[in-house]
Amino acid sequence: MSLNKEAELLRDIPLFRNISPAKLKLLAFTSERLWHDDEQFLFKEGDDGDAAYIILSGTAVVSIESNSGSQEVARLKKGGVVGEISILCDVPRTATVQAQDSLTTLRITKDTFFHLITEFPEISIEIMRELAFRLDETNKQLREALNRK
């Protein structure tokens, strides 16, 4: 796929909507496009975090380990971002992410990710919004679990 087409794909993702086409081409050039087969792991909870992944197509299943086994906590589709927590906080992966059916992602290394959020503060705002949304969802799930006891 050409850089122009990859830049167009990125433009459709809310995180990148305000970035110029030239910068999107640079992002596409410096990132790695990956194809994941059905049930293939992008990474597992506890792994070292070296990159974030942007979902270009397909669905990713996010799960965490608990006393009762693996628990699905989210399903992400086109435009979803995974893996950013471990590179932002420099901690091991906080969840396992696995492809459902076939999945296409853009792998953005830690250095490229930090360069992006430094150069484009609006990306930082979108990431904060996404993380706040996830925290709110986690709190709701925790509240529901505690109420069931």
Summarize pLDDT for 113-148 with one digit per residue, the tens. 888 888 878 778 877 887 888 888 888 888 887 888
Segment 5-30, tens digit of pLDDT: 788 888 887 777 777 888 888 888 88
CA distance 142 to 4: 43
What pLDDT was estimated at residue 1?
A: 64
CA distance 144 to 147: 5
Question: By C-alpha distance, which of 47, 42, 54, 41 is closest to 15?
Answer: 54
What are φ and ψ of residue 90, in 5° steps?
A: 55, 50
What are the structural domains of the chain? 31-148 (2.60.120.10)
Question: By C-alpha distance, which of 119, 111, 89 is closest to 16?
Answer: 119
Instruction: Look at the block and give the residue holding tokens 């109420």.
Output: 147
CA distance 98 to 54: 13
CA distance 45 to 59: 18
This prediction has a pTM of 0.82
